[in-house]
Amino acid sequence: MPASDGGALYCEDSAFCRVERSWFEDNTAIDGAAIGSECALEVSTSMFCGNDASDDGGGIDLGSLGAGETVSVSGSVFAGNEAGDEGGAITATAG
C-alpha cells in the first residue's frame, strides 16, 4: 500500500528541508512519490527515477506552501516518473 504523502521523504511544517546527493527510485505514494513537502525545500544533485504517484507529483509534491516559503531544485535529474493526475516530475499548490 503506498504512503499517503512522500513515499520516501515527507517534510512537514518545519522551517527548511534540504536534500543533497540523494537517489529516489521506484517509490510510490498518493502524492509525492519520492518527496512530499509542506515547507521550504532545497534539492541539489539528486536523481528521481521511476517514482509513481497515484494522484500528484511523481517526483516531488510541494503541497500547500505558505507565503515566503522557497523551493530550489538544481543539478537534479527526473526520469520516468509518473503521476495519475498532475506533475510527473514536480507539482506545486499555492497555500
Strand partners, 68: none
pLDDT in tens, 46-94: 999 999 999 999 999 998 787 788 999 999 999 999 999 999 999 987 6
In angstroms, how far is the first alpha carbon of the chain from the final one? Answer: 28
Closest to 52 measured CA to CA, from 76, 26, 77: 26
pTM: 0.93
pLDDT in tens, 16-25: 899 999 999 9
Q: Is 51 exposed, middle or buried (0-12, 13-18, 19+ CB in 10 A)?
A: buried
